[in-house]
Amino acid sequence: MPEPDLSIIVVNWNTRELLAQCLRSLYLPSQSQGQESLQKPCSCEVFVVDNASSDGSAEVVSQRFPQVHLVQNKENVGFARANNQVIPPSRGHYVMLLNSDTEVQPGALETLLAFMDSHPKVGATGPRLLNTDGSLQPSCHPMLTPGREFWRLLFLERISPRATYPMHRWDDRAPRQVEVIKGACLLLRREALNLVGLLDESYFMYTEEVDLCYRLAQAGWQCWWVPEAKVIHHGEASSRQVAQRMYLALYRSKIQFYRKYGGEPRANRFKGLLRLAYGPRLLVATMGAPFSSSLSARARTYRQLLAELPEM
């Protein structure tokens, strides 16, 4: 059996209907909706790794999409480990990590693969991500640094972007080299992945794609944003179910990244910046908590973050 062009891996946790939408979009022909693809249709295999969902997600996959390779975990092993379960046995020339709350638009896969085929130094690409209403969603960003994060936390991005890209000013027809591609839809060259290694499983959720893009750059591979390929990303459907825990997991992962690439001094410097940024936020949220349920929830989250920082 010939190797497919692409192996698509979808990790799922309790997003049954969105997962079904995602899979339908993958099997939608390129000529749908009156649009004809200018690219050669690609061959692909699709894997769904279900992280012990309790909403019937696995049953939906097995009943509605029998052509999908379904892996059912007995516990939630996290994003990185779940992807790593099926990357080695997958057979595609390229590997795509795809969130379960996405919808791939017609022609997007062919566009991304064509770009990779014609740019052999590119190790990873990502599409233009769109919100549910069709508006632009950030799909790439500069590499994480403590200074950039602190700049963002002080709301200074509106004055001068440092932690984000001014994507609203970019030409949406011109590919652009970037530093980090968002993991909601990340296409990887298998040759590059074999060289730098799989996702770091010490990240349970968040920042694993930052780590991977960093390793790709260190090894001499490029990352590019390809805006003519479009993917709708409904956004954080799994993490919203456990919002406070995921908020803490986000910063735990970022501290882990700084520790991995800078040791304890860099991790501690970032922790100090977080205290400076979140101390005033906690004060304001606490003062407003009696009058607002959302501020009350924020106060609890900020208080928990600051309490757990020393152990992160």
Measured CA distances, 268 to 18, 169, 252, 309 (Å): 39, 35, 12, 10
Q: What is the DSSP secondary-structure string of 98-132?
A: EETTEEEPTTHHHHHHHHHHH-TTEEEEEEEEE-T
Mention the CATH class of domain 6-239. alpha beta
pTM given for the model: 0.91
**DSSP output for 247-284:** HHHHHHHHHHHHHHTTHHHHHHHHHHHHHHHHHHHHHH
Q: Give the helix/strand (H/E) hosting 188.
A: strand 185-189
**Do 10 and 104 touch, CB atoms closer than 8 A?**
no
Q: Give, in order, the Cα–Cα distances in Å from 251 to each of 13, 117, 202.
A: 21, 36, 14
Domain boundaries along the sequence of the chain: 6-239, 262-311
Q: Which burial class, exposed, middle or buried, applies to 35 when counting CB atoms under 10 A from its CB (0-12, 13-18, 19+)?
A: exposed
For tokens 């606490």, name the residue. 286
Chain position carrying tokens 């990873």: 124
Cα dihedral 210, 216, 222, 228 sign: negative
Question: Using an 8 Å Cβ cutoff, are 227 and 128 in contact?
Answer: yes
* C-alpha separations of 238 from 9, 17, 112 in Å: 16, 12, 26
Specify the pairing of strand 222-233 against strand 122-130.
parallel
What is the mean pLDDT for each group of 10 consecutive residues in the chain (312 residues)? 91 95 81 40 91 96 95 96 97 97 96 97 98 96 93 89 93 96 97 97 94 98 98 71 79 96 96 95 95 93 95 94
